[in-house]
Amino acid sequence: MKKLTKSLVALMLVLAMALGCVSAAGAEPKHAKIGVAFYQDTGYAVVATKAYLESLSEALNVEFVYTVLTQTDEAANVAAIQNLISAGVDGIICTMDLGTNAIIEECEMAGVYLAGYLCDYDVSYTQNFDRVFKSEYFLGTATDGQNPDDTTIGHTMLSSLLEYNARAEKPLTHVSMAIFPAWAFPSQETGAKQFVEDVAKYNETNDPDILVDELDPALDVLMFTQMDTTYFSKHTGIDGIISFAAGTSFVYPTMVQAGVDKDIRLFTTGFEGGEENNFGTKGTQTFQQNMVSAVESITYPLVLILNKVNGVTFPDMPETAERISTSQFCINSDEDLDAFMHSIYYTGNAADAMFTPEQVLNMTAFGNPDATYAALRDLLAHMTIEDLAK
């Protein structure tokens, strides 16, 4: 049912764009140069994003310069941004919220626009809202998944777990969790609480009970370092791990090292490649859930910046910049994986992208007079695995 409605909405959108196409014909966008600052210099997301952007460059008359930010060194980030500005960019898309105060200052000085993607800008949002989000040069950000304030990942995790239990001959009854520290991903702590509550609810009405080891701050909070093997000695008897933290890099290696990857199922976020070999019913069947945000969500900051560059704006453009949740690909079955493996995220081939250059052009205010912020914003809610499956 849900699926159906979603797909309907999406269909309507596409139609709207198609119409837009016609009306927008002829509007030649200004040339723009945009800097993209990634959170890491390699990996699927980076390759795919580059491929996607490059595919747009002609239609939108925009060229891209890339750099990479660090998660820990403000000075380095500012330097990287300054170099981008030096390269003469009109706008910058960031995937990291570190040293943002200084960065936004640079942007204001140089008259360069800043926007984010795959990043909740939580520190800026909660601590420096006026400085960052109220700056006329900060245009907003598309979060990687849910915003900390409307987290649903706990629910998602349980539903994936239950879906698995439904089809598995040996359902999981005892799981432990792993999260990143709250300062980096506040939503994960919330998600964890959510999950525990949901399980409690579930246990009231269902058998067999699912036992959840409670979060041990010393052990289960991964400081962006691999989980260590004593984890399994301390969470004895678990048959599943709910890792809100990116499991492929930080949990799975340890599982392999400790030789438990055959006996323990992993529900986690992110997708870094290689999981497909042991996903669902394949290989050791370790991975039962992966979650990623579509790289196409970069369309949001891209469009906002291009509007500014072209000196136009949406009629319904909000006063202050927003951070908006994006829906995620929640891959928790062989079919999902199959669908995912045909997406640009996995193939890195622009042809597999959700939007054609024309469609993107039609999301912009200069490419399509009827385009609205609401429509753009709504897009990001329709980048689910179901949308892919179509």
Partner 1 sequence: MTTKTNPAEKRSSFPAFLGRHVYDIAAYAGLAATLILFLIFGGSRLAYNAQAVLQTSAPTIIIALGAVFVYSMGYMDVSVGQQVGVYAILMIMIINAVGGALGVVLGFLAVLALALLCGAFNGAVAVWLKLPSIVTSLFLMFFFTGAQFLLMESTGTNSISVPTSLLRPADRGAYNLLLVVIIVAVALAVTYFFRFSKLGKYTRGIGANETATAQSGVATTRWKVIAYMAFGACVALGTYVMLMRTGSAGKGTGTGYAMDIMICLILGGMPLSGGMKSKVSSALVGTLTYVLLTNDLTTMGVDLNMINFVKALIFIVIILITCRRRGGVLPR
Partner 2 sequence: MKIIKKTLLTLLFPALMFAVMLAITASSDKCYVDGQLIFLQADMVRQVLVNACMTVCVALAIWLQLKNGRFDFSAGANMILSAIIAGNVGLQTGSPVLALLTAVAVSVALSCFTAAMYIFGRVPIIISTIGATLLFESLTYLVFGGAGVRAFYSTPGLSVFGRLPGIFLPTCIAVAAFVIFVYFTTQGRKGKILSNNQTAGVNIGINEKRNIGASYIFTGIILGMAAVIYVSQNTVTPQAGLSTSGIMFSYIVPVFMGMFIGLASCDVVGIIIAAIGMEILNYGLNCLNLGAGGTQQIIMGVFVLGFYAFSGQLGNIQALLARMKNRRARA
Query: Residues in the site for partner 1, rule: CB under 8 A?
Result: 41, 65-68, 70-76, 78-79, 82-88, 98-99, 101-102, 105, 109-110, 123, 181-184
Quote the DSSP letter at residue 209: P
| Burial of 156 (C-beta count, 10 Å sphere; 0-12/13-18/19+) | buried
Dihedral sign of CA atoms 9, 15, 20, 21 in order? positive
Positions touching partner 2 (CB under 8 A) are 41-43, 47, 218-219, 223, 225-226, 228-230, 232-234, 236, 248-249, 252-253, 256-259, 261, 272-274, 277-278, 283-284
User: Which is nearer to partner 1, 124 or 332 (by Cβ)?
Assistant: 124
Nearer to partner 1, 50 or 382 (CB): 50
User: Quick one: how far is CA 71 from the chain centroid?
Assistant: 16
Instruction: For 266, list phi and psi in degrees, rounded to 5.
Output: -120, 120
Q: Closest CB to partner 2 among 45 and 81?
A: 45
The answer to whether the CB of 244 falls within 8 A of the CB of 157 is: yes
Nearer to partner 2, 101 or 229 (CB): 229
Alpha helices in 259-390 (DSSP H): 299-309, 334-340, 344-347, 357-363, 373-379, 385-389
Nearer to partner 1, 245 or 385 (CB): 245
**Residue 136: Cβ-neighbour burial (10 angstroms; 0-12, 13-18, 19+):** exposed
CA distance 135 to 94: 15
Residue closer to partner 1 by CB (options 83, 356) is 83
Select 10 or 104, whichever has its Cβ closest to partner 1.
104
Residue closer to partner 1, measured from CB, 216 or 338: 216
Burial class (CB in 10 A: 0-12, 13-18, 19+), 356: middle
C-beta closer to partner 1: residue 70 or 159: 70
Question: How many angstroms separate the CA atoms of 147 and 171, rounded?
Answer: 31
Distance, in Å, from the CA atom of 189 to the CA atom of 185, rounded to the nearest integer, reads 8
Which pair of tokens denotes residue 129?
């809202």
Q: How far apart are CA 275 and CA 9, in angstroms?
A: 32
Beta strands in the chain (DSSP E): 32-38, 62-68, 91-94, 113-117, 138-142, 174-178, 211-212, 240-246, 265-269, 287-293, 323-324, 328-331
- Crossing angle between the packed helical segments 44-60 and 299-309, to the nearest 10 degrees: 30
Rg of the chain in Å (alpha carbons): 21
- We find the least distance from the C-beta atom of residue 130 to partner 1, in angstroms, to be 12
